Amino acid sequence: MEFLTDPNIWIAFAMLTALEIVLGIDNIIFISILVGRLPQHMRDKARRIGIGFAMVSRLLLLFTLSWVMGLTADLFTVAGQGISGRDLVLLFGGLFLLYKASHEIFLAVEAREEAPPLVGDDATIAAVGKKMYWGIIGQIAVIDIVFSLDSVITAVGMVDQIAVMVAAVVVSVGVMLIAAKPIGDFVDRHASVKILALAFLVMIGMALIAESFDQAIPKGYIYAAMAFSLVVEALNIRSRAKRLASTTPVADKA
């Protein structure tokens, strides 16, 4: 009971939960964009599996704290720069994110008409859809591990009690689960928002690579830029909707 009535515990829980939710925004955007490539009936299940894996990976890392903290110890040195296990994970995770975001931008901007529709009998289409489904789940799992590592190391640096960390992770992943579908649907409805989100992922990938070389970019700058761009894009969407609404009656009369 002393544990539950300690105000410091609740303050730490609130701060850590808020931070975990903020750190999970990148994860939600990535999952939403990848899941958007699947057929409609597969998206909800893939989204739940992806976010569920994010929670599992975070909890597993939390229960292996000694190993996680050991990742910050240098394994070898390159040109006077110490390289740790965490640096390697962030480096390859950043490169993967750069590749995937750039590839998705290319598909959205240049190759939309080149992607052939699924053809064949029902069994062939189902097999191709299943292969695509598990391929996307695998990609989500890879990036979940990268984001989870950063999230858990941040949690370890903020809070000493493992129970508080676990509770904060569970609550933040629950918020991710609730927010993922509305965010995904919004991104699907607005192509410009999807491109903007992919551009953010490129920026996050670059930040991960920089961080792997101990050149940390304050995340406040990144999230401030994201928030400003999204506000501007929201104003553009509203402006386009008003223009469309004002011209529709004229078209109807004609």
pLDDT one-digit tens code per residue, 105-138:
887 777 554 444 444 444 554 665 677 788 888 8
- Across 13-17, 178-182, 199-203, 229-233, least confident range: 13-17
Backbone angles phi, psi at 81, to 5 degrees: -105, 120
Q: What is the pTM of this model?
A: 0.64
CA 187 to chain centre: 13
Q: Rounded to an integer, what distance in angstroms lies between the CA atom of residue 166 and that of residue 138? A: 24
pLDDT at 66: 62
Q: Quick: pLDDT tens for 40-95.
A: 778 888 888 888 888 888 888 777 766 766 677 777 877 777 888 778 877 887 88
Same domain, 152 and 226: no
pLDDT at 29: 78
Same domain, 223 and 128: no
DSSP secondary structure string, 197-237? HHHHHHHHHHHHHHHHTT-PPPHHHHHHHHHHHHHHHHHHH
Number of domains in the chain: 2
Q: Quick: pLDDT tens for 130-166.
A: 777 888 888 888 777 777 776 776 666 666 677 888 8
pLDDT at 33: 79
Same domain, 57 and 172: yes
pLDDT at 115: 46
Same domain, 210 and 234: no
Q: Residue 3 pLDDT more than 70?
A: no
Same domain, 227 and 168: no
Same domain, 225 and 148: no
Q: Residue 8 pLDDT more than 60?
A: yes
User: Containing domain of residue 162, as a range?
Assistant: 2-215
| C-beta of residue 185 within 8 angstroms of C-beta of residue 191 | no
Mean pLDDT computed over 189-199: 77
Give percent of the chain with pLDDT exceeding 70. Answer: 80
Same domain, 245 and 210: no
Same domain, 160 and 244: no
Q: Residue 226 pLDDT more than 80?
A: no
pLDDT at 248: 63
Same domain, 83 and 102: yes
Q: Residue 76 has which token pair?
A: 């070898």
Same domain, 156 and 226: no
Same domain, 142 and 251: no
Q: Residue 194 has which token pair?
A: 């999807």
If we measure between CA atoms, which residue out of 143, 96, 122, 144 comes closest to residue 39? 122
pLDDT at 193: 77
pLDDT at 65: 64
Q: Residue 186 pLDDT more than 80?
A: no
Q: Residue 251 pLDDT more than 50?
A: no
Same domain, 169 and 238: no
Instruction: Spell out where 40-126 has E strands.
Output: 74-78, 81-84
- Across 3-7, 201-205, 221-225, 242-246, least confident range: 3-7
Rg of the chain in Å (alpha carbons): 21
If we measure between CA atoms, which residue out of 76, 79, 98, 97 comes closest to residue 87? 76
